[in-house]
């Protein structure tokens, strides 16, 4: 691997000389998004973010225009939008047409300018940008179009392409991309990291979760020289925990945060459960708005549409939840001291202090392993190779009781899902290949704990495993079943490729699939993939609680 010094020089040299102003910046008389955010932060103005990503850029652009017009008709604006890209955007441009279509648009080389000029809403690019093989090229494309908030740093440690990628090449691309942002820092360059997408979300408590953020800050700001902003919220259910993380992250920066956005709680939403989803959105919106009034950080509030758990939301559903947020802001402003701010800010300060100690001890651990902790590329690679529970154990930093009790959703939910996986029959002698081909691995991890309790032998595959690798493992391990989760809008493609491999190898076991079983066809919203999967002989699992009995029944039928 090249030295960080060389990679940083290459990245800075590759940064565009000119960064054009977007339609949003021109309409608001701002030189950069950072300047606009500072203005809103200092004025106590709450900003709003929308996340969008239909199957094509054309459909996404049309949705942006529709949302902008509908909100303007009600006297509102939205400050920024984030694009939920197809994972193929992480692949070098020349190879994208060879990759499987997943949820979200792909932006061609000649379309980047349209992201910045289509509507007077500031664009944000995060998913499948920095942290994947095409990260440096994506950063340069974005900057040349006038897009200056680029992520997603946390995805470097957790996201990958189907089948995996060369981690050294990805690390080099990541350092170059961050160095390009460092080169334009004085013109608004901002590296974005959603902590919910990275290794930090595997933490046992929010002390080491924020400790991971402190590690990222050290690498991006101290070692590379770019400015980093942390996003959070997708999986933080407890409103008090949201406040504590908000204050802790701001304390890490000495109270001088310029944020990207704060995500609403997505994990408590359920398909078709309108009342539940409305309550969930309102609870997170109220505290997020209140936090921007109490201690403004420049983060835009991102209301989660009520259909997020069903499918990719359409323009009307985005408008609906944004209008809800504006009404909630009116109500929140009536009671600025509704929360026990003194206690929450104190806990936030304690968490920040713990996080700094965690960072320092983690760097010592890396140094003990032979890592040059002054080299950003080596530290990043060490972070990518880290498993959070193992790192927490090696750091060996005991958390005070109040911090240890601040348990993130994933830690608690893996335990809860594993508990819910019950069955009336045993699985003794049943061999199961267990896989999720992307980062949404919570149910996989829960099943890895639960199925052996019922007697199953589990062959656990990593999230970078290829589709062919799943079938190869099933055949090589003489497995009785494959249990596979997918959430990226490519369920039918996966099912077809697995079925073809099953026929080719002669493997006779049963394939089970769960998660979000839809398919992005390139035409608007994804379609339900379950009928086609059933026709292929794939068993679609609607409830994880039913899996044990399904596996048992399948085994009995074979015997």
pLDDT at 556: 52
Give the model's confidence band at 423: pLDDT under 50 very low, under 70 low, under 90 confident, else very high: low
Looking at every residue in the chain, the average pLDDT score rounds to: 91
pLDDT at 557: 44
Mean pLDDT lowest for which of 45-54, 110-119, 201-210, 426-435? 426-435
Tokens of 41: 């932060």
* pLDDT over 70 percentage in the chain: 97
Task: Give the single-character DSSP code of 491.
Answer: H
Strand segments (E) across 118-159: 122-125, 149-151
Mean pLDDT lowest for which of 11-20, 82-91, 391-400, 523-532? 523-532
**Residue 524 pLDDT exceeds 70:** no
**Residue 107 pLDDT exceeds 60:** yes
Residue 260 sits at the vertex; the CA angle it makes with 524 and 437, to the nearest 5 degrees, is 50
pLDDT tens digits, 113-167:
999 999 999 999 998 999 999 999 999 999 999 999 999 999 998 888 877 889 9
- To the nearest 10 degrees (0 to 180), the angle between helices 376-384 and 341-368 is 100
pLDDT tens digits, 249-267:
999 999 999 999 999 999 8
Strand partners, 481: 432, 510
pLDDT at 257: 93
> Averaged over 42-65, what is the pLDDT?
93
539 compared with 349, residue with greater pLDDT: 349
Contacts of residue 271, defined as CB under 8 A and 6 or more positions apart, other chains included, come to 309, 310
Residue 125 and residue 85: Cα distance in Å, rounded? 8
CB-neighbour burial class of residue 274 (10 A; exposed 0-12, middle 13-18, buried 19+): exposed
Give the model's confidence band at 57: pLDDT under 50 very low, under 70 low, under 90 confident, else very high: very high
**Residue 495 pLDDT exceeds 90:** no
Give the model's confidence band at 558: pLDDT under 50 very low, under 70 low, under 90 confident, else very high: very low
pTM, whole model, 2 decimals? 0.86
Residue 28 and residue 46: Cα distance in Å, rounded? 15
Alpha helices in 198-273 (DSSP H): 206-217, 239-252
DSSP code per residue over 289-317? HHHHHHS--SPEEEPPPTTTTTSS--HHH
Give the model's confidence band at 547: pLDDT under 50 very low, under 70 low, under 90 confident, else very high: confident
Tokens of 113: 């300018």
Strand partners, 82: 51, 124
> Averaged over 69-92, what is the pLDDT?
94
Q: 402 to each of 246, 303, 345, 359, 494, how far by Cα in Å?
A: 17, 29, 13, 19, 44
Across the chain, which distance is largest between two alpha carbons, in Å?
72
pLDDT at 555: 57
Tokens of 86: 């197809």
* pLDDT over 90 percentage in the chain: 63
pLDDT at 425: 74
Closest CA to 91 of 159, 44, 38: 159
406-416 b/e (C-beta count within 10 Å ≥ 16 → b): bbbbbbebbee
Closest CA to 251 of 165, 162, 351: 351
> Averaged over 79-89, what is the pLDDT?
93
Phi, psi of 424 (to 5 degrees): -90, -10
532 compared with 20, residue with greater pLDDT: 20
pLDDT tens digits, 301-323:
999 999 888 778 889 999 999 99
pLDDT at 439: 66
Closest CA to 260 of 183, 152, 184, 156: 152
pLDDT at 501: 84
pLDDT at 295: 96
Question: What domains appear along the chain, each with residue ranges and CATH number?
Answer: 4-343 (3.20.20.240), 411-558 (3.40.50.280)
pLDDT at 160: 83
Closest CA to 230 of 63, 251, 2: 251
Residue with tokens 């960072």: 359
Residue 354 and residue 248: Cα distance in Å, rounded? 10
Give the model's confidence band at 548: pLDDT under 50 very low, under 70 low, under 90 confident, else very high: confident
Beta strands 228-231; 510-515: pairing state? unpaired
Beta strands 510-515; 518-519: pairing state? unpaired
pLDDT at 559: 46
Question: Could you report how far apart the first and last alpha carbons of the chain are, in Å?
Answer: 52
539 compared with 397, residue with greater pLDDT: 397
pLDDT at 286: 97
Beta strands 261-263; 431-436: pairing state? unpaired
Please answer whether residues 299 and 264 qualify as being in contact, where contact means their C-beta atoms are separated by less than 8 angstroms: no
pLDDT at 97: 84
Residue 226 and residue 223: Cα distance in Å, rounded? 9
> Averaged over 468-486, what is the pLDDT?
86
CB-neighbour burial class of residue 397 (10 A; exposed 0-12, middle 13-18, buried 19+): middle
Mean pLDDT lowest for which of 168-177, 350-359, 443-452, 509-518? 443-452
């Amino acid at each position: 691997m090249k030295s960080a010094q060389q990679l940083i020089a290459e990245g800075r040299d590759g940064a565009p000389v000119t960064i054009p102003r977007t339609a949003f910046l021109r309409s608001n008389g701002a030189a950069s998004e950072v300047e606009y955010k500072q203005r809103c932060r200092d004025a106590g103005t709450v900003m709003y973010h929308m996340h969008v990503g239909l199957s094509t850029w054309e459909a996404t652009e049309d949705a942006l225009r529709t949302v902008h017009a509908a909100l303007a008709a009600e006297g509102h604006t939205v400050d920024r939008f984030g694009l939920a890209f197809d994972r193929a955007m992480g692949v070098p441009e020349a190879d994208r047409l060879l990759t499987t279509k997943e949820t979200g648009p792909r932006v061609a080389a000649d379309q980047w300018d349209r992201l910045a000029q289509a509507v007077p809403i500031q664009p944000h690019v995060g998913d499948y940008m920095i942290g994947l093989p095409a990260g440096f090229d994506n950063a340069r494309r974005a900057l040349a179009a006038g897009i200056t908030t680029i992520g997603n740093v946390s995805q470097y440690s957790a996201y990958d392409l189907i089948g995996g990628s060369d981690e050294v090449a990805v690390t080099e691309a990541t350092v170059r991309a961050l160095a390009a942002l460092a080169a334009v820092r004085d013109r608004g360059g901002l590296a974005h990291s959603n902590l919910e997408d990275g290794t930090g979300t595997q933490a046992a408590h929010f002390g080491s979760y924020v400790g991971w953020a402190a590690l990222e800050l050290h690498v991006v700001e101290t070692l590379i020289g770019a400015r980093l902003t942390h996003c959070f919220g997708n999986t933080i259910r407890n409103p008090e925990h949201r406040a504590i993380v908000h204050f802790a992250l701001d304390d890490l920066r000495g109270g001088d945060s310029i944020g990207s956005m704060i995500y609403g709680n997505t994990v408590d939403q359920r398909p078709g459960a309108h009342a539940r989803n409305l309550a969930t959105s309102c609870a997170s919106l109220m505290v997020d708005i209140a936090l921007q009034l109490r201690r403004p950080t420049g983060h835009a509030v991102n209301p989660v549409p009520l259909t997020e758990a069903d499918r990719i939301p359409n323009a009307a559903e985005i408008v609906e939840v944004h209008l809800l947020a504006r009404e909630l802001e009116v109500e929140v402003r009536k009671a600025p001291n509704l929360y026990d701010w003194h206690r929450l800010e104190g806990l936030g300060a304690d968490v920040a202090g713990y996080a700094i100690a965690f960072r320092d001890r983690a760097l010592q651990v890396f140094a003990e392993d032979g890592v040059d902790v002054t080299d950003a590329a080596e530290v990043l690679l060490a972070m990518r190779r880290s498993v959070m529970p193992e790192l927490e154990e090696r750091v060996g930093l005991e958390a005070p009781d109040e911090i240890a009790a601040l348990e993130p959703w994933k830690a608690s939910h893996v335990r809860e899902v594993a508990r819910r996986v019950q069955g009336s029959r045993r699985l003794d002698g049943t061999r199961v290949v267990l896989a999720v081909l992307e980062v949404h691995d919570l149910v996989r991890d829960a099943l890895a704990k639960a199925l052996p309790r019922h007697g199953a032998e589990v062959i656990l595959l990593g999230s970078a495993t290829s589709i062919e690798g799943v079938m190869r493992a099933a055949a090589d391990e003489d497995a009785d079943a494959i249990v596979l989760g997918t959430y990226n809008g490519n369920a039918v493609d996966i099912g077809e490729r697995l079925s073809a491999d099953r026929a080719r190898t002669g493997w006779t076991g049963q394939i089970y699939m769960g998660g979000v079983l839809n398919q992005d066809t390139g035409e608007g919203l994804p379609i339900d993939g379950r009928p086609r999967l059933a026709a292929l002989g794939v068993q679609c699992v609607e409830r994880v609680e039913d899996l044990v009995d399904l596996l048992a029944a399948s085994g009995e039928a074979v015997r």
